[in-house]
Structure 1
Amino acid sequence: MKKKIIIGVTICAVLSMGIIPASYVYATGNNWSNVIYPEVYIEDINVGGKQFGEAEELIQKKYGESLLNKKIQIEVNDNIYTLDYSKIEARYNIGEVVNKALSYGKQGNMIQKYKLIKGEEKKEFKLNFEYNSTPIDELIDRIEQQANKDPQNAKIFITKGDIKITPEIDGVKLQRNKLKGAILENINGELSKEGTKIKASLEIIKPEINKEKLASINSPISSFSTSFFTSSANRINNIDLATKAINGTVLMPGESFSFNEAVGERTRVRGYKEAGVIIGDRIESGLGGGICQVSSTLYNTMLNANIKADERRNHSLPLAYIGKGLDATVDWGNIDLKFTNTLNTPIYIEGYIENKNVYFNIYSSKTLTKRTYEMVTDISTIQPTIKYIDDATRLEGEKIVTKSATSGYKVKVYRKTFEGGKLINTELISNDYYTPVNGEVIRGIKKPL
């Protein structure tokens, strides 16, 4: 009530002076109620006297449409990627600002409105630049997929002594954060700049293994082979699959090898077949039978290269194809043959079968051949027991062997190192135990008539 009294007094005072008729003041304010007051600017455009739609169209034509024509070009090697402002929905808050301009002064009293309409005071409103950053990330994703290249290690191939090395290839990685930062830094609403060019930063990724490192693999340093002359077709098939899986393995100094990881699970889908396997004190048919000959042959090749096993176990029974204490059994998910390249140079494992023999060769630096190695075994025999079962229905002296007895063994394996023909070291490699198989015999006790 007090405010209305003050306004009324002010108006009466002005009118009593005969300066401006009240009706004129009121009519002037009323005439500008739906348009923007004079001397109101949005950026550099005078929108005074314009209705909302007129002002919006005027600002949109200069600032909205021109903005959508801008673009940023991104150079990645020989490729150019374009980020259009239309894709990022670049825009000014034109509607919001025009609404502010239209509302300017409309809340004042009659005299205040009149002064703004008739006055020469300039009022400016600024536009805010906005955009959607999601398309930027999507473009960078696409650039990254096309620009990024994994490094490729140098590769070595050896076939019966013929050594070939293909050089390494550098990898490329887009420096994503730097590119995004450069894009965001250059996105703006300046109409004087139609576009910007950015050169993406790329990081060169060097491969872990280069040709120079592999060049030190220049000579065989150990070899070993075993025969499977009497093996079945299924067993030969399994030996061939496992040998091929290992052939070509390269181990850098400090890298480890796992037979199970290299060969993989022995399944029918992967081509493995049923063949004889040792289970306890007997031989049964099992999927992948025969691959222990592969692991045992590789184990001896490894020993002759002056490498120790990290994990290795002997069979429960001695084997015909290899000496006692020199075998290495494997079983998927249970028993493995593992070793680490403890040499100062990389090694290459070559494996192949020929004339019903499985061969393994380890290649490395020729400097390692100045030493040679010999495996020596110390064997103690453990005699089995024989259980006799008397049979009164059979004649005295008649015997039937129901379970054959085989001796057990305690075996120590030593590796002797020679240099220049002289023994320079002897070390214990393994201490194995082969369980004796106790026999059973049925014997007759019936007296002859």
Structure 2
Amino acid sequence: MKKNTMIVAGVVAGIMLVLMFFPLFVNGTSGVVRGVKLQDRDVSGWQAEGLQRYLAEQNNKYENAALNLTYQTYTWSIPMRDLKLAINAEKTAAAVSSYGRTGSWFRQWWEQWQSYLKPVQMNCTVAYDVAHLNEILRAKVDELAAPPRNASVSFNEAGDVVIETEKPRLILDYVQVAKAAEKKINAQDFSPLILQPSQVDLPTLRKAQLASINAILGEYTTYYGGDENRSANIYKGSAAISGALLAPGETFSFNDTTGLRTYEAGYLSAPVFINGELVPDAGGGICQVSTTMFNAVLLAGLDVVQRTPHFAPVGYTEIGRDATVADNSIDFIWVNSAKSPVYVMATAGGGAINVKILGNSDDRPSGVAITTEPAKVLPHEKKEIVVNDQKEDVIEEEGHDGYSVVVHRRVSWSDGRALTDTFYSVYDPVTTITKLSPQEAQKRVASLAKATMEHKPGKGREASEAKNRIQT
């Protein structure tokens, strides 16, 4: 019995000795203890020189590292070079080398057993500009709180199409974002930082939807004068149509796109045609926007569904090339007859409005010919009327001739497609009206009667005809 007890005691003592001295046997007296990892790299047994080389390599990697803030498919990067992120090599090497090597004998024994049984993960100690990080994050949080912005099209200095990325509206907790960002950088964890906004407003047009847009299919420019209200209406109307994206086969309605051109909608008073007369009203000048777009559509080779000429020819485009619009009645409608999406880009300012129709280069016409037949004159009439309460003897309201105009369009594409269509315009003549006071009318009647009594050939007929023109 005593012998068995001694055997057990010896075994226990042996186990204790193994437990006590095994880590020291495995790790020796220098170098990093077994089971220690630095940035997921096993550095067991490494000496100071090896650690310094490894830390220098890691420091170089941070030159191209970035913290990416992400929400769904959106990413905003903060390059570490902007924060002057660098490893504190001396502090990091000391922390790694001292693990299981400093402190009491028991502490060393305990740490060495821990790392042997389960690897111990350690991170580099880094230094960076925390204040600048907070500045960047504050600016980004404020920027993302602004209203959403759709993807758009612009041009670089070489004239090439550039697609501008859209921007969502995210309401974020700055303190929460800053704490999460610092935690990741301190741990050298450059996996995406997923943003958690309290409110989200996404744009309606995304960059991916504009991927096929790479060329101008057609564009047109018209010019306008210095009337401030009319200029403001043209600017507002061009902004309303700009940014529209049409899928193949989709229809564009000018009225639906701009909405009602009213004072409540922000349009100003400027001259408009109402019942054949120029009178001040909300939205004056908007027809120059629709006319400019009509011509851009013509040059882009797209199908026109509905177009109406003005009451009279306008001065900012050729006769037969205008397109009028009116709330709730007259619309300008066209369809994307191309094979790929098309995008409307309209700009106004400095006395000029330009409308571009952009799309894929495969849909760009190789030739466009727009010809106008000689205008047919529609003579205007002359009429005299008596206005009972008129004080002036004669008031003349000058009329003008009308015109009938035919415009032909021929479009061709390099793949063999062709389009021919015709646009008809009738500008009605306006009667010249001479308004007479009752006294003046009596004088003229008396004069005519006298001429008739004199029986002068020719003058009698002229007098009779003139008398018939006077209406009461």
TM-score normalised to the size of structure 1?
Answer: 0.50
Q: Between Structure 1 and Structure 2, whose CA radius of gyration is higher?
A: 1
Q: Relative to total residues, which structure has the larger helix share, 1 or 2?
A: 2
TM-score normalised to the size of structure 2?
Answer: 0.48
